[in-house]
């Protein structure tokens, strides 16, 4: 039987925000909030009904602010860029929410998590139980666990 499950790997303390938060507020939370200490880089999004809606990362926020801005020929571009960015600050999390990524139940096996993490560059995989996010399994934790079962502490090293 499998020994390591999603339940054992997940982080239970993580940041949640609502779909109604603006990108400006989200930046405030990421840069100056509690998150700063963990620098975990993944935030669970909760919709208006209180249900789990997805995961956003600083990358989603950066790309949401950039939107479709492209550098023109004229220099300096900095002002045009900042102007464009500023207009997108009032967008909400709902506007930039990426399509729902896979999630797992608390009893998902390590093997399943490895398969999922290999599918795409997910920062983390949410663990859902009865519609609630119980925790987040970060890619780094999956990697650590995979390395833990695969490596042989005595013989492995750089040879």
Partner 1 sequence: MELPFSSFRFDDLFNRLDHYSRFSLRADALSGLTVAVMGVPQAMAYALIAGLPPVWGLYTAMVTCVVSAALGSSSHLVTGPTNAICMVILSLTAHLPEKYGYSLLEIVLLLTFLTGAIQFLFGILRLGGIIRYVSHSVVVGFTAGAGVLIAANQLKNLLGIHFEERPEHFYEVLKLTILELPHSNYYALILGLATALCVVFLPKVNARLPGALIGIVVSGGIAYFLGWHLPEMGANKVEIVKDIEPIAATLNLFHFPQLIAPPPFELTRELGVGAIALAILGLIEAASIARAVAAQSGQRLDFNREFVGQGAGNIVGSFFSCFAGSGSFTRTAVCYKSGGKTRMSAVFSALWTATTILLFAPIANYIPKASLAGILIIVAYSMIDKRRLVITWKSGKHSRMVLFGTLISTLILPLEYAVFVGVFLSIVLLLRVTGHTDLTQLVQRPDSGFDEIPFSRAPQSEVVTVNMEGDLYFAAAEDLDYELLKCLTPKTRVVILRMKRLRAVGSTAMAILEHFDEILKSKNMHLVVCGIEESLKDVMTGSGLRRQIGEQNLFYADNKLFQSTELSLARAWSIVEMERRRNQAASKSPINLDTSITVESILSRRILRFGNQHQIREAVWLISEMMKHIKKKNAQPLFLQNTEGKLDSELTLSVVLKTLGQNLRNEELDALSDEKLGKKLREEFRIRINTIARKDLPKIEKSTRLETAVCLLREHDSHTLPVCDEDGRLIGMIAPIDLLKGLGEALDFNPEKEMPNA
Q: Reduced to 3 states, what is the DSSP secondary structure of residue 11? A: strand
Q: What is the CA radius of gyration of the chain?
A: 19
Restricting to residues 95-154, which ones interact with partner 1 according to CB under 8 A? 109-112, 114-115, 117-124, 131-132, 138-144, 146-151
**Shortest Cβ 47–partner 1 spacing (Å):** 10
Region for 89 from its dihedrals, namely left if φ exceeds 0, alpha if ψ lies in -120 to 50, beta otherwise: alpha
- Is residue 8 close enough to count as binding partner 1 by CB under 8 A? no
Shortest Å, Cβ 33 to partner 1: 6
Site for partner 1 contains 81 (CB under 8 A):
yes
Q: What is the token pair recorded at 116?
A: 């999922």
Of all residues in the chain, what percent are helix, strand and coil, respectively (each to 5)?
Answer: 40, 20, 40
CB of 159 to partner 1, least distance (A): 7
Instruction: Give residues with Cβ within 8 angstroms of 149, minimum separation 6.
Output: 4, 110
Rule CB under 8 A: say whether 87 interacts with partner 1.
no
Main-chain phi, psi angles of 66, to 5 degrees? -70, -40
Question: Residue from 7, 85, 101, 134 that binds partner 1 (CB under 8 A)?
Answer: 85
Name residues contacting partner 1, limited to 18-37 (CB under 8 A).
18, 20-21, 24-25, 27-33
Q: Residue 124 Cβ, how far from partner 1 at the closest point, in Å?
A: 8
């Amino acid at each position: 039987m499998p020994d390591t499950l999603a339940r054992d790997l997940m982080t239970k303390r993580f940041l949640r925000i609502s779909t109604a938060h603006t990108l400006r507020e989200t930046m405030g939370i990421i840069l100056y909030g509690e998150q700063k200490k963990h620098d975990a880089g993944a935030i669970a999004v909760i919709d208006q009904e209180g249900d789990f809606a997805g995961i956003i990362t600083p990358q989603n926020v950066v790309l949401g602010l950039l939107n479709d801005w492209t550098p023109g020929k004229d220099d300096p571009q900095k002002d045009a860029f900042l102007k464009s960015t500023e207009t997108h600050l009032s967008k909400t999390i709902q506007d930039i929410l990426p399509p729902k990524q896979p999630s797992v139940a608390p009893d998902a096996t390590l093997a399943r998590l490895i398969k999922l993490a290999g599918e795409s560059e997910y920062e983390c995989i949410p663990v859902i139980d009865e519609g609630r996010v119980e925790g987040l399994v970060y890619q780094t934790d999956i990697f650590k666990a995979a390395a833990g079962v695969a490596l042989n502490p005595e013989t492995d090293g750089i040879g």
